[in-house]
Structure 1
Amino acid sequence: MENDQYAYRRRHAPFYPFQDQAEFDLAKFLCERLTQSDMERFLKLDWVRRAGPSFSSKDQLLAWVASLPTGPKWRSTTLEMTGYPTIQPINLIWRDGLEVVQDLFANPIFANHMTYDPHVVVDGGEREYSEYFTAQQAYEIQDQLPEGATIVPMIVASDKTPVTRHTGGLEMHPIFVTIGNIQSDVRMRATCHAWRCVAYMPIPKFVDVHPDYQTILSQRLFHKCMDIVFADAKVAAMVGKFMPDPAGHLRHCFTPLVALREFQEEAKAQSLSGIHQPFWRNWRHSDPSRFLVGEILHTCHKFFFDHPFKWCKESVGKDELDLRFRSHHKRVGTRHFSSGVCQMKQMTGREHRDLQRTLVPSITGVVPPPAQSPVYSDSSVDSMVASLKEFHDYKHAILDAGARRGTKGTLNNFIIPKLELLQSFASFTKDTGALIQWTADVTERLLITHCKLPFERTSRQSRTFTEQIVDILNREESMRRFQLYLFLRMHDSPLVNAIVTEEQEVTETDPALAWIARVAPNDPNQRCFVGPRPVRNHFLKGILSSTATAAFHVTVTPDRAKMSLNEIQQLYALPDFGQVLSDYITKASGSQFTTAWSNDRGRLKTWNKFRLQLHSVFRSRMIMPSQVVQAAPPSEQFPLGNCDAVITQSIHGDQTVNRIAQVRAVFQPIAPHNVTLPHYLADQPLLYVQYYEIVGDPGSQRAISMYTVARKYWEGPTGQRIRLGAVIPLTDVTHAVELIPMYGQGADRTVGAATSMEVYERFYLNNFSDKEVYHSLRSDLH
């Protein structure tokens, strides 16, 4: 920024060429939201002319934005395939791949999210594989570099996408790049801008050429273009390049290609047999057998939807499967398939995952029984291999049931390319780290933000729309840089001053927002920076568990205030509430009588829900988004209440006891005037829970490998069965969990999502509800 041609003007007028922050914000909004014709119409409005921005036309506005400091320059190169004319000129729109990598490597926003050296992580005596620098390949490359050298692993993604809807047939083929030094949880979020577009590949139509040769010529052109874009990166991989890191320190860097995403599908469709000079041929430390890494989105999620899910529909029946999914209990933050799942033709990656989380317990009972972790260990990799072997050992049962079908009827084979790719996942994990970091989810999103959305703001002319999209993206990138520069100038903060280790634990969502918050924590202008919604950190001001491993939050204003004990018993349909509360007081007080509280005269406040927040099982420093636990009383929509399940932990003597419970009420006694309640009533809200008992463990049910729980009862004075309830402190809760009813041979058609948690007697404790729960249950309930 300080080397820009107008830097001398900005010493005294930092907003130059704009008058002030407000005018720059207006310009940014117009450039990001409107087409050029809409800009012109807006600036000609009488009201706008009276307001008097200093730019009077869209041409002047765009010229001013073009004068802002930019990143790596875009270029246009015209290519020819000798002897093969094309309908339109072959234009490669590109940036130097090495310049983009240097820009990413030096970006101070990522300073607290960077890794520079290979390292071994050991937990419980086992080596863990997560980030690229924890895997074997990083060590192998580092051993071949000069002493003190730094690996800058390049990750490239390539895919083709249509930009017109139904008509026009226009396509784009962008190339994206990022670096493995940036932590994977940051790279995997498109809003963090850790991926950069480096090229738009030409998609030519050759004249008078057989279709087979069209494919070969297009692929040769692709590799020729990649040679141009990454020529300097190959030199840096060979001899190194000195680059500044986010702190301004100069490092001797080498840039191997370690991952190429979306290429396997393209290579299979287009065939590489006619490519005599692949672009990676002279790229040191770059081996296609290693950089063509396993890819989660297509190899796992789409494989699941195209094959195992179809087997389930054939075996269970579409009506029965839809009924089971419709009757799942609704939890906040989890997709509920209220219309069933069998009629869905297309799904997002998130919907694929939500379906997978509940499928196993949902089909259990009707079908006879015959890798997305961010951190792996040697034993978990072995488990992956064993699971795949188990599938192959028993896959004949799918064929025997006639569940594998094609368009022409039943199939008697497993010739599925995506299934074959699963064989390589174990070796890839140890070689390059956890495969989830290579998933194409983020690049699928980039196709929208870098192709489809900006295309809507172009003239849509086939000859020029690519150049127009590049101009749009360049303006957005320039304004994003300039906005950060202005913010820091207003606070007189050099860039590197923001690179500090957090003094307090915070939930990191967007690196730019977190960085700005450290530079100017109290500045109201932070709102002008757009990013994902921040995750609130309840560990700072919430209610903490005794071990500070969990934080809880209830709203300051309860949903119901000053309720009598009888009113709660009637509203929540909990006839034993008063007796259970008395039992809790007796136990918590050590049987000491207290005059501070009376069940007859006391008043209580209640909440319909609370929030639970935990640290990540995989990265203990990372705080997860809070999860809502519902405890709503019966209502017209939920005639039996809307209550979620949790795991509680309590101390009995010298033993720690974990139990499964359903939260029926969240409440807290209110202290009478001039009376101080004892700590066990005043310190935190209390929960009325009803317990389940574990009647089956994963080891005894190998077909599903889940815990089975049943409602727990006690016998009343007249012999009736009454659900076993208890009052416990809020901080006894350790996890929110999902229970899936045991449907048996057929689901009850009179039961829906509003009543399934209350009607069914037995449930599966779904350890697949998310990765955090899966790994927590493996240890907490043993």
Structure 2
Amino acid sequence: LADPTFADHLSFTPCKNYADAEGSNRLYTEINTGNWAYETQMLLPDGATLISVILSSDKTELTSFTGKRSCYPVYLTIGNISKHMRRQPSMRAQRLLAYLPTGHVDDTVMSEAKARRLRRDLFHHCMRRICAPLFEPAEKGVLLADSRGVVRGCHPILAAYVADYPEQCLVTGVRYGEACPRCDILKDHFDIDECGDLRHQDDTLATIRYANKLPAGAKASVLDAAGLNDIPAPFWADWPHANIHAAITSDVLHQLIQGVGKHAVQWLITLAPARELDARIQRLPLAHGLRHFKNGISKLSNIQGSEHKAIYAQLLGCVHGIVPDKAVRAVTALLDFIYIAQYECHSDSTLAQLQETLTQFHELKSVFQEHGVRDDFKFPKLHMMQHYVESIRLFGTTDNYNTEATERLHIDLAKHAFRATNKRNFAAQMCRWLERREAIFWFATYLAWKRGKKFNARLRQRKKASKPRNPVTLAKRPDHARVRLGELRTQYGITDLHAALTPFLAKWHKVRRYRGYDVELPASVAHTLAQVSSVRTWSRVKFYTPNTQTLDAPDVLNIAFASPRHRRFDTVLIQTQGNDVAGQGGLEGALRSGTHYPVTHHYRPYLGIRVGRLRAIFKVPAQLEHALFGQDPPDHLAYVEWFTKIPAQPNRINGMFPLKRSLRPDGVVEREIVEVLDIRRACQLFPAFGRARVNRKLTPSTILDAYESFY
């Protein structure tokens, strides 16, 4: 609380936010917007301040190939700090509490069951020692001052414990693979589309204490029926107002991205012809921000989370037509769940949509049993999806408690510290190294405070004052200063530059078009147009798109290419609604006009948007600009080939929108010149492969020219 870095990013009051004036559509973002903070605050004395304690632990390997060195960090943060600050390791909002013991139990002198129990008891004993200083303040409160000197009576109460499924079982005392740590559902019912009765730590403690009073046989039966292990002294037993089972949060990384999503990919690979699936993925057009799998995906191993995300973004467009439609619909519902679960702002309507996608998957999942891909769906990660809506209502969106943050902390607080040691008795050296870095940080913070500034270890000093970032950015100088019309024809595929410039100039000069493509321009403009024999071209354009979920998040960078050198001409989204004059009414003002909320069934963000293929980014010669456009010429122009308008309804099988090349009445592809400012971002199109075998001679550069229909 006293760290001045977080002075403007702290919240101490639970609140309920709504998307409408009637209060019928509640919003969930930070932890203090969830039900847990509101309900727990009611249990505290008047004037008390709730401190939402978030713990996380995860064992990690320190050596890559040899040595088998590992450590077991425990981290702490508080939900009162804004989540966008907690997600940044450089902000130091997550603090290392301790390294737990990682020594191996010698199973030659005891049974495996005794060794497991010893490891459980050791974990809870250590965690009790670590957390014990918080037990009394949680009940009675403790006076703490923030960086502005405001003193509050604070109650540190366990809100969430961030961990993967094995760690969740260890923390709660639930049997691994046999039971759910949040509800009383056991393994035999993991495949049903419902939750059991929620567990409560008071009931768990009562069951364990009752079982310990019984003979060995009866004790085992009681614990088996409850899906519990015998933990005589759980570390959370004496933590006031805590409920460890409710504190177990959803884990997007291990349960979804590297969990059920990974399973779904394998199911489709099993159903689809492996060579054909790989051939399609190898030939997909390149897109910024997406990995290109030049060797396919069927033989990938040791896949990381970012690679899983890239596969999910490209898979559905490739399997449609070579696997049963029911399987495509099932995986579409599953991927919808994965994406919706990661919203940075949720509402009651999006939570209903989230639950609807899960229900749809359960209705369709039998297709994988019918084709012999799976025998059953009784695995924990699938069942844990039932608790996502509940977790979001309790603790806000999933980015408040994603284990990706814990995995990232291992780099700074474990792996880098280990590399600074001599690899012998490394735990003590790691702690000493981290303590010294902490001391240096606080001294630098103090010096910055004395100068009236804020210290940020990752912030580089800028030579010039930063300027507001343009939503569309290009290089100052063209990549090609003079491209002749013949080169446009052979390298860019542009055969009618003058014909395309004519209607653009007509719009610019407000010339009324009477019929077809017959446009009469002012004589001086028409004369100047005939003199255009070359243009200046740029190979790429950057777009900074505002985050549509939260205002705190940075703009999203997106790049589109129109490069003959690499034979890459990307497809882009272009604002067309309101563009009677190019560049005059676009989406930019709407995007930046206020708070944006998650997409719902009734929200159609593609209205007024069309897809086009970017053939060239150009400007006419500088000496002709004023003669063509007047005293206020447009900025960069783009030559695009249009696709048909985005339909109101997506394809019912894969959930994507079908498109075709837009043709003029004479059968020629519709082409037009627009302002680059009207382009919103790049987008990836998938050829409609259907059931036919893809031509092996095609490449990512030629695939868009070979097909007429796309998604």
1:262 maps onto 2:163 in alignment: yes
Deviations 1:502-528 (A, max 9, x none): xxxxxxxxx7657x87xxx7699xxxx
Quick check: 1:256–1:285 contact (8 Å CA) kept in 2? yes
* Residue of structure 2 equivalent to 1:472: 433
Distance change >3 Å, CA 369–CA 564, structure 1 → 2: same
Structure 2: 5+ residue runs without aligned partners? 176-227, 327-340, 512-520, 587-606
Q: What TM-score, normalized by structure 2, do the two folds share?
A: 0.79
CA RMSD of aligned residues (A): 2.7
How many residues matched? 601
CA distance in 1, matches of 2:500, 2:662: 15
Contact map agreement 2:572 2:680 (CA 8 A) in 1: no
Q: Using the TM superposition, give the Cα deviation of residue 322 of structure 1 relative to its aligned residue in structure 2, in angstroms.
A: 1.4
Matched, 1:150 2:49: yes
> 1:735-772 CA distances to partner (integer Å, 9 max, x unpaired)?
432211111113332222122222222111xxxxxxxx
Q: What aligned pairs does 1:80-91 form with structure 2 within 5 A after superposition?
A: none
Compared CA separation, residues 193 and 432, structure 1 to 2 (3 A)? same
Q: Aligned residue for 1:30?
A: none
Which of 739, 746, 752 is the equivalent residue of 2:699? 752
Residue of structure 2 equivalent to 1:96: none
1:245 to 142, 146, 171: 146
Q: Which moved more, 1:146-155 or 1:414-423?
A: 146-155
State which of 289, 295, 306 in structure 2 corresponds to 1:339.
Answer: 295
Partners of 2:93 and 2:681 in 1: how far apart?
33
Once residues 433 and 226 of structure 1 are traced to their aligned partners in structure 2, the CA distance between those partners, rounded to angstroms, is: 26
8 Å CA contact 1:329, 1:756 repeated in 2 = yes
Per mean C-alpha deviation after superposition, the further-off stretch among 180-189 and 684-693 is: 180-189
Shift of 1:646: 1.9
* Mapping for residues 626-775 of structure 1, pairs under 5 Å: 626-633=557-564, 635=565, 637-638=566-567, 641-651=568-578, 657-672=608-623, 675=626, 678=629, 682-694=633-645, 697-699=648-650, 701-716=651-666, 721-745=667-691, 746-764=693-711
Q: Percent identity?
A: 25
Say if 1:184 and 1:674 are closer, same or farther in 2 by CA, change over 3 A.
closer
- Of the structure 1 ranges 145-154 and 701-710, higher mean CA displacement relative to structure 2 is found in 145-154
1:449 aligned counterpart, secondary structure: helix
1:295 positional shift: 0.7
Identify the residue that residue 136 of structure 1 maps to in structure 2: 35
Tell me what 2:15 maps to: 119
360-369 vs 387-396, greater mean Cα deviation: 360-369
Q: State whether structure 2 residue 506 is matched by structure 1 residue 586.
A: yes
Cα deviation digits, residues 427-476 of structure 1 (max 9, x gap): 11111111232111121122233223322332222xx2110111122222
Q: Deviations over 1:101-122 (max 9, x none)?
A: xxxx221112333222222222
Alignment partners' CA distance in 2, 1:722 and 1:665: 18
Contact 1:668 1:682 in 2 (8 A): no
Q: Does the aligned pair in 2 maintain the 1:648–1:733 contact within 8 Å?
A: yes
Given that 1:365 and 1:744 are in contact with CA atoms closer than 8 Å, whether structure 2 keeps it comes out as yes
Q: Which amino acid is the alignment partner of residue 368 of structure 2?
A: I
Which residue of structure 2 aligns with residue 330 of structure 1?
286
* d(CA) in 1 for partners of 2:158, 2:344: 21
What does residue range 32-181 of structure 1 map to in structure 2 within 5 Å? 105-124=1-20, 126-181=25-80
Note if contact 2:267-2:368 (Cα within 8 Å) is conserved in structure 1: yes
Question: Match for residue 450 of structure 1?
Answer: 413
Structure 1 length as normaliser, TM-score? 0.72
Partner-residue secondary structure (3-state), 1:153: strand
- CA deviations over 1:625-664 (Å, ceiling 9, x no partner): 321111123x4x42xx432322323326799732211111
Deviation at 1:674, TM superposition (A): 10
Q: Which of 373, 388, 413 is the aligned partner of 2:376? A: 413
Q: Deviations for 1:366-417, whole angstroms, at most 9, x for unmatched residues?
A: 122122111111111111111111111111111112223xxxxxxx211111
| Pair 680,127 (structure 1): closer, same or farther in 2 beyond 3 Å | farther
Change (3 A) 1:673 1:614: closer
Alignment of 1:443-592 (within 5 A): 443-461=406-424, 464-489=425-450, 492-493=451-452, 540=468, 542=470, 551-565=471-485, 567-591=487-511
Q: What amino acid sits opposite 2:531 in the alignment?
A: R
- Residue type of the alignment partner of 1:211: E
Distance 2:569 2:631 in 1: 27
Q: Specify the code of the residue in structure 2 equivalent to 1:606.
A: T
- Residue of 600, 603, 617 corresponding to 2:548: 617
Once the two structures are TM-superposed, the CA of residue 681 in structure 1 deviates from its matched residue by 6.9
Partner-residue secondary structure (3-state), 1:155: strand
Report the 3-state secondary structure (helix = DSSP H, G, I; strand = E; otherwise coil) of the residue aligned with 1:154: strand
Secondary structure, aligned partner of 1:727:
strand
Correspondence 1:383 to 2:334? no
Q: Letter of the aligned partner of 2:302 in structure 1?
A: Q
**C-alpha distance in 2, partners of 1:728/1:368?**
41
CA change 1:713–1:483 in 2 (3 A) is same
Give, in whole Å, the separation in 2 of the partners of 1:113 and 1:364: 46
| Contact 1:671–1:677 under 8 Å retained in 2 | no
Any gaps of 5 or more consecutive residues in structure 1?
Answer: 1-104, 405-411, 499-510, 525-536, 543-550, 765-782
The superposition leaves residues 207-246 of structure 1 with CA deviations (integer Å, 9 ceiling, x where unpaired) of 7333311221221121121111111222221122222223
**Partner amino acid, structure 2, of 1:686:** L
Tell me the equivalent position of 1:310. 266
Q: CA separation of 1:600/1:570 partners in 2, compared to 1, >3 Å: closer, same or farther?
A: farther
**Whole-Å separation in 2 of the counterparts to 1:728 and 1:223:** 65
For 1:438, give the aligned amino acid: Y
Question: CA offset at residue 177 of structure 1?
Answer: 1.0
1:668 maps to amino acid: K
- What is the letter of the counterpart of residue 261 of structure 1? V
Q: Secondary structure at the match of 1:751?
A: coil
